[in-house]
């Protein structure tokens, strides 16, 4: 072994030496040169490495005053951090702030936004390459949260002896152009996402896709002329209309000349609507047997094809998209233009590709995309397990919250819950069973609330300080 080491110029490595990521090439030990062409070494800093392993070749850079600059490569960011010329601002996405004043020489960056009811695609590019892209899944539990809040408030008010009626302070009577809370949340999320990207990159132009849908045309493709002024139930009552539509026959068993009941194709307990196109008729036996199942789950998918069309997305497409353009003061394009350009470029249908096409991207170098998650910042759950005491609301915000990423014994974990008045947490590492750990033994890596850029985390101790990063 010693002869082999002398032959190739290798030195003995101590047994207790730390193992780090790196590349070893024998020709690097030559005395004539200290470098070799075409050889790339892996940096030892694991935070910067996750960009290279994930396919992201850019680290976002902020000037000393917080204004965004053009991204740099991982090697440049590693040297700046090593020389104490920058510090870490955020880890997902990885962002550094310079500790010296740098010239604000930036390039034109165009941001494309593909807004939708459930997903938002985004892509920012220069003339040469794409800098950031991804898609955000919007929350769908806003309505449920509001119903729970109303239930709690109603329960508290019913316990009062007397409460004066208040009917003149409803939001519908205060503002014109009122939107449902769930729609307002989606609108605010779009604006919040754009503002987040503008804090990372020097965005010079924003383009949003808008569209307009004819809801009556969606329900009846053959509608025209005066029929737009005549409703579906013109000259009918709801029950009589359904009896005529389904020929006074149970849609499930086909029996006639029996008492029939108005029934929901999608039950109210499953989010069904009272629109006439979502209603049908059935006998009492089939109605009870169907329960809370949909018509398809009950074995009759052909029933839902008789006119069950969801219109939840149309208000967002028709109103909110144009409201986004007005708030941002940006340019806009239309869906048919995006489809034409995407097919011309040979790209698959996705929100990320649509956003890239919306930004007028063609042959620029693409980057790997982020998967954004969105979680609530507060928890309204009541503490109902207090034996001998009445239920109460937790009013103190604990230092750690669910979904926060922390470091425990050299590994990155996710907080699943907090208990014992914020002194202990339930920690999940590598999808194992949650562990009950003292909060003093962990270090906060990143908060998990709000918009979270999801990247596979490293499982080692990061090379940077573990201070709280928002």
> Coil, helix or strand for 294?
coil
> Which pLDDT does position 393 carry in this prediction?
62
Answer whether 109-214+313-368 and 382-454 agree in fold. no
Q: Is 61 exposed, middle or buried (0-12, 13-18, 19+ CB in 10 A)?
A: buried
Extract the runs of DSSP E, i.e. beta strands, from 66-188. Answer: 86-91, 94-98, 109-115, 119-125, 130-137
Total Cβ atoms within 10 A of residue 120:
23
The reply to whether CATH 3.30.420 applies to domain 109-214+313-368 is yes
Is the C-alpha dihedral spanning 64, 66, 68, 72 positive or negative? positive
Span 250-288, pLDDT tens digits: 988 888 888 898 888 888 877 777 878 788 889 998 989
Residue of 120, 102, 98 whose CA lies nearest to 111: 120
| Range 153-171 average pLDDT | 69
What pTM value is reported for the model?
0.70
Token couple for 301? 């998918």
Query: What's the farthest any 2 CA atoms get from each other in the chain?
Result: 102
DSSP lists the bridge partners of residue 135 as: 121, 371
CATH fold label, 382-454 = SH3 type barrels. (2.30.30)
Of 9-18, 44-53, 143-152, 332-341, the range with the highest mean pLDDT is 332-341
pLDDT of residue 434 exceeding 50: yes
Token couple for 308? 């069950």
**DSSP letters along 353-394, please?**
HHHHHHTT-SSPBP-PPEEEEEE-S----EE---TTS--EE-
Question: What is the rounded end-to-end Cα distance, in angstroms, of the chain?
Answer: 52
Span 345-394, pLDDT tens digits: 999 999 999 999 999 998 899 988 898 888 877 665 555 556 666 666 66
Residue of 135, 130, 123, 193 whose CA lies nearest to 355: 123
Residue of 88, 59, 357, 81 whose CA lies nearest to 201: 59
Average pLDDT, the chain: 76
State how far the Cα of 428 lies from the Cα of 403, in Å rounded to an integer: 10
pLDDT of residue 194 exceeding 90: yes
pLDDT band (50, 70, 90) for residue 5? very low
> Which pLDDT does position 246 carry in this prediction?
85
State how far the Cα of 220 lies from the Cα of 237, in Å rounded to an integer: 19
Token couple for 172? 């519908």
DSSP lists the bridge partners of residue 281 as: 262
pLDDT of residue 450 exceeding 90: no
Where are the chain's structural domains? Answer: 2-11+20-98, 109-214+313-368, 247-304, 382-454
């Amino acid at each position: 072994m010693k002869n082999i080491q002398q032959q190739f110029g290798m030195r003995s490595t101590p047994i207790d030496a730390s193992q780090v990521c790196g590349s070893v090439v024998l020709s690097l030990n030559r005395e004539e040169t200290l470098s070799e062409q075409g050889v790339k070494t892996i940096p030892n800093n694991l935070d910067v490495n996750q960009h290279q392993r994930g396919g992201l070749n850019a680290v976002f850079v902020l000037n000393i005053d917080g204004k965004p600059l053009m991204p740099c490569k991982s090697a440049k960011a590693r040297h700046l951090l090593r020389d104490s010329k920058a510090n870490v601002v955020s880890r997902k996405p990885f962002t550094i702030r310079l500790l010296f004043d740098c010239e604000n020489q930036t390039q034109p960056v165009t941001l494309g936004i593909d807004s939708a009811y459930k997903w938002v695609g985004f892509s920012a590019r220069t003339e040469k390459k794409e800098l950031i892209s991804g898609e955000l899944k919007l929350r769908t539990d806003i309505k449920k949260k509001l119903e729970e809040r109303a239930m709690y408030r109603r329960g508290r008010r019913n316990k009062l002896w007397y409460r004066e009626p208040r009917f003149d302070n409803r939001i519908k009577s205060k503002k014109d152009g009122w939107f449902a809370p769930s729609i307002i949340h989606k609108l605010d999320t779009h604006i919040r996402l754009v503002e987040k990207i503008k804090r990372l990159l020097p965005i010079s132009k924003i383009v949003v896709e808008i569209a307009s849908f004819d809801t009556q045309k969606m329900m009846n493709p053959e509608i025209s002329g005066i029929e737009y002024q005549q409703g579906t139930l013109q000259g009918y009552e709801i029950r009589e209309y359904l009896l005529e539509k389904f020929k006074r026959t149970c849609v499930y068993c086909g029996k006639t000349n029996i008492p029939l009941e108005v029934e929901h194709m999608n039950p109210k307990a499953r989010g069904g609507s009272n629109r006439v196109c979502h209603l049908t008729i059935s006998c009492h036996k089939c109605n009870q047997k169907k329960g809370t199942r949909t018509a398809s789950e009950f074995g009759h998918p052909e029933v839902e094809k008789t006119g069950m069309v969801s219109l939840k997305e149309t208000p967002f497409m028709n109103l909110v998209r144009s409201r986004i353009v007005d708030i941002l003061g940006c340019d806009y394009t239309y869906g048919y233009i995006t489809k034409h350009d995407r097919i011309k470029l040979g790209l698959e249908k996705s929100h990320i590709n649509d956003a890239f096409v919306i930004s007028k991207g063609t042959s620029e170098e693409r980057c790997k995309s982020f998967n954004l998650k969105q979680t609530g910042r507060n928890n309204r759950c009541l503490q109902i397990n207090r034996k001998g005491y009445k239920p109460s609301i937790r009013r103190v915000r604990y230092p750690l919250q669910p979904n926060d990423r922390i470091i425990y014994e050299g590994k990155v974990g996710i907080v699943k819950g907090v208990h014992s008045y914020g002194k202990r947490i339930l920690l999940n590492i590598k999808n194992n069973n949650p562990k009950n750990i003292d909060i003093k033994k962990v270090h906060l890596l990143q908060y998990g609330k709000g918009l979270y850029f999801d990247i596979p985390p490293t499982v080692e101790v990061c090379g940077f300080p573990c201070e709280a990063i928002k």
